[in-house]
Amino acid sequence: MANEKNEPSGFKVVDRRSFNSEGSRREEDAPEVKKAEPPPPPPPEKAASPQALESTVIEPTEAEFSEASSGFEMLVSYLSTTTMFQLGLLAGPGGERIPPDMANAQRTIDLLQVLQDKTQGNLTPNESRLLDDVLYELRMTFVELQKRQARKG
C-alpha cells in the first residue's frame, strides 16, 4: 500500500482556491488546465456481402444521430413514439399487443401542445412544421380511436 502512493496516478491536483490556509488572498494565478481531447473515431469497417447487409440492421451511433437531428427533434420523436405506444399502435418489446391507454395518450399529446406553446417563435421553420405535423397526426389518430371505442362499447 505504501508503494501505491509513490507511483504516479496520472492525476494532478491543483488548488484553485482564492485564499491560502492563513486566510489571506493568493496573489499567484493558477496555471490553466488543458482539457483532454476526445479519442479519434475508429476507422470505418469494411462492407460485408450484400446478403449480410440485407439481414443486418445498422443502428446509427449516438454521435451520428445527434448530428442528423437536433435535440428538439429527438424530444418530439420520443414524445410522439410514446403516444403511439399509449394509443396501442405499436407492439411491445416482445411483439405483444399493448392495450390503449387513452388517458395517458391525451396527457402526452397535451404535453406536446405545451411544448408548442412555450417554444412559439423560437423554432426553426422545420422544427415548427415537425411539431405541427406530429400534433395533427396524433390528434386525428386519438379521435379516430375514441370513435372506435365508442362504437364497440
Q: What is the mean pLDDT of residues 95-123?
A: 95
42, part of any domain? no
By residue range, what is the domain housing residue 74?
70-152
74, part of any domain? yes
95, part of any domain? yes
64, part of any domain? no
143, part of any domain? yes
Concatenate the DSSP letters of all residues of 37-73 into one string.
PPPPPPPPPPP--HHHHHH---PPPHHHHHHHS-HHH
| Tens digit of each residue's pLDDT (9 = 90 or more) over 2-23 | 555 566 666 676 667 777 777 7
Q: How many domains does the chain have?
A: 1
Backbone phi and psi for residue 63, each to the nearest 5 degrees, phi listed first: -65, -45
Backbone phi and psi for residue 134, each to the nearest 5 degrees, phi listed first: -65, -45
| Tens digit of each residue's pLDDT (9 = 90 or more) over 32-91 | 545 556 666 666 554 444 444 444 444 455 555 555 567 999 999 999 999 999 999 998
31, part of any domain? no
| pTM of the predicted protein model | 0.55
